[in-house]
Amino acid sequence: MTFQNSQPSGAAATERLPLVRPEAGAGRYVGGVCAGLAAHLGLPVQRVRLMAIAAALCGGAGVIAYLFLWITVPVGDAEKVMRQLADPHRVRTVAPPVEASDEVGKQPWYRGISVSDLVLGFLLVLVALAVANRSITTALGQWLLPALVILTGALLTWSQLDERRRGKILAETGGRTPWSTVRMVGGVVLVVVGVLVFVGRGTDTATAISAAVAAIAVLTGVAIVLAPWWLRLIKDLAQERAMRERADERAEIAAHLHDSVLQTLAMIQRSSTDSVTVSRLARTQERELRQWLYEDSPEHGTSLAAEIRELAVDIDEQYGVPIDVVVVGDAVPDDVTGALVQATNEALKNAVRHGRPPISLYLEASERRLDVSVRDRGDGFDLDSIAEDRFGVRESIIGRITRRGGTVDVRQIPDGGTEIRIRMEFPGDDENENS
């Protein structure tokens, strides 16, 4: 690990890290532009920040550059990208090495402070200074104040267009989460107010208000004109996405049919004289297709019903005898159901060897009770010989189940056939048995 890490950092010294903005929290305070630049240029992050602030004070050039980079530079982990470039086969399984975070982790004391609070606070202080200082007010206040308001509004709205969230916002067609809506509306209002104050400075209140009304009317008019176009754009986008999804789905179905059904059909044609093989192929294919069509296969180890069904499939594949499975309810597998599944397996094998198809397998499962029934249709039987014949199997079924507190009942059905019933009950909340 340590030896492997030395390699990419060595590479970073000669070859520059890609320009990306770190993710929120990982050394990112406003937009992560300074941290990203620092990593890219190989400079200490404080120096970059100081330079940015200095540039911002030079007529706002730094602010504009910052905003530009904020919008255009993607979010990512530069070290990770670098490592992937250096060794694409190495899969990251461990936490990022310390050196990746030490330059950004030096000031842990303001980690917990919200970035937007800081920015807003800073802007408010500037506004307060501007208002308090008469000389500034008279000289610069006329444009500084509205400019700050506009900037605040723009920050609020633009922060939404952060690369990270852009996709999500588009997906929700306009940012439907209440918080983002508030931010969007608040930002727009601030910008509009700022622009109005900016443009209307030096005029009296009445003119300013009528100008504001006119401006809002124009904006509303434009919005009304553009709304249908905008809505259609959104709708087209959604439609296009849905169509693409459908096409993908169709491609998947076609691929599946080709891999399974067509292959099986070809095999059936080749072995059409062997009826046993044909019916086995057909059954296997049917089962596979059915499972693919109708069942969301549950995660392994979460469904007793799925285990029982698998058992029937295994028996069919092993012996070529179809099993009719009916399952009612389901349960989470544990030791007890494990024993039940094993006993059921024995019972099925027994039915396949000694009985005659069709063989039925029934499972009824709940929290309190497990019921399994395996029945075959063997004809005319000699009870003694069967008892002897099946003694071992019966022991392995009965022994297994009774050790776990269950009962096994082997019964002969008058019309022919044998049924093995396995039942397990769990004591507990019996009070709502017959409520």
Partner 1 sequence: MTDQTESATLLRLVIVDDHAMFRAGVISTLPDDFQVVGQAGDVDEAVAAITELRPDVVLLDVHLPGGNGGGGAEVAARCAQAQSPSRMLALSVSDAATDVVSVIRAGARGYVTKTIEPDALADAVRRVAGGDAVFSPRLAGFVLDSFGAPDMQVAERDEELDRLSAREQEVMRLIARGYSYREVGAELFISVKTVETHVSAVLRKLQLSSRHEITRWAAARRLL
Q: Which residues of this chain interact with partner 1, rule CB under 8 A?
A: 286, 290, 294, 296, 324, 326-329, 358, 360, 362, 364-369, 371, 373, 375, 413-415, 419, 434-435
By beta-carbon proximity to partner 1, the closer residue of 99 and 245 is: 245
Question: Could you tell me the two tokens for 290?
Answer: 């059915």
Cβ 413 to partner 1 shortest distance, Å: 6
By beta-carbon proximity to partner 1, the closer residue of 21 and 375 is: 375
- Using omega within 30 degrees of 0 as the cis cutoff, is the peptide bond preceding 358 cis? yes
Cβ 241 to partner 1 shortest distance, Å: 22
Give strand ranges (E) for 214-353: 323-329
CA distances to 34, 45, 165, 210, 373 from 19, rounded to whole Å, are: 11, 14, 19, 48, 66
By beta-carbon proximity to partner 1, the closer residue of 117 and 296 is: 296
Cβ 348 to partner 1 shortest distance, Å: 13
Give the whole-angstrom CA distance, residue 42 versus residue 257.
54
By beta-carbon proximity to partner 1, the closer residue of 212 and 327 is: 327
Coil, strand or helix at 217: helix
Buried b (16+ CB within 10 A) or exposed e, 147-164: bbbbbbbbbbbebbebbe
Give the whole-angstrom CA distance, residue 30 versus residue 12.
25
Question: Could you tell me the two tokens for 76?
Answer: 């990512």
Give the whole-angstrom CA distance, residue 182 versus residue 179.
5
Q: Which amino acid is at 245?
A: E
By beta-carbon proximity to partner 1, the closer residue of 137 and 360 is: 360
By beta-carbon proximity to partner 1, the closer residue of 80 and 283 is: 283
DSSP 261: I
Cβ 327 to partner 1 shortest distance, Å: 7
By beta-carbon proximity to partner 1, the closer residue of 28 and 375 is: 375
By beta-carbon proximity to partner 1, the closer residue of 38 and 359 is: 359
- Which residues are paired to 323 by β-bridges? 359
Question: Could you tell me the two tokens for 109?
Answer: 């004391």
Cβ 393 to partner 1 shortest distance, Å: 20
Between the two ends of the chain, the Cα-to-Cα distance in Å is: 62
- Which residues are paired to 75 by β-bridges? 21
Give the whole-angstrom CA distance, residue 182 versus residue 161.
14
Cβ 150 to partner 1 shortest distance, Å: 50
Q: Say if residue 127 is exposed, middle or buried (CB neighbours under 10 Å; 0-12, 13-18, 19+).
A: middle
CA-based nearest residue to 342, from 297, 308, 382 = 308
Give the whole-angstrom CA distance, residue 20 versus residue 373.
63
CA-based nearest residue to 375, from 408, 341, 416, 419 = 419
Give the whole-angstrom CA distance, residue 243 versus residue 251.
12
Coil, strand or helix at 421: strand
By beta-carbon proximity to partner 1, the closer residue of 72 and 366 is: 366
By beta-carbon proximity to partner 1, the closer residue of 205 and 434 is: 434
Cβ 363 to partner 1 shortest distance, Å: 9
By beta-carbon proximity to partner 1, the closer residue of 307 and 371 is: 371
Cβ 328 to partner 1 shortest distance, Å: 5
Cβ 282 to partner 1 shortest distance, Å: 10
DSSP 258: I
Cβ 394 to partner 1 shortest distance, Å: 19
CA-based nearest residue to 375, from 411, 327, 338 = 411
Cβ 350 to partner 1 shortest distance, Å: 16
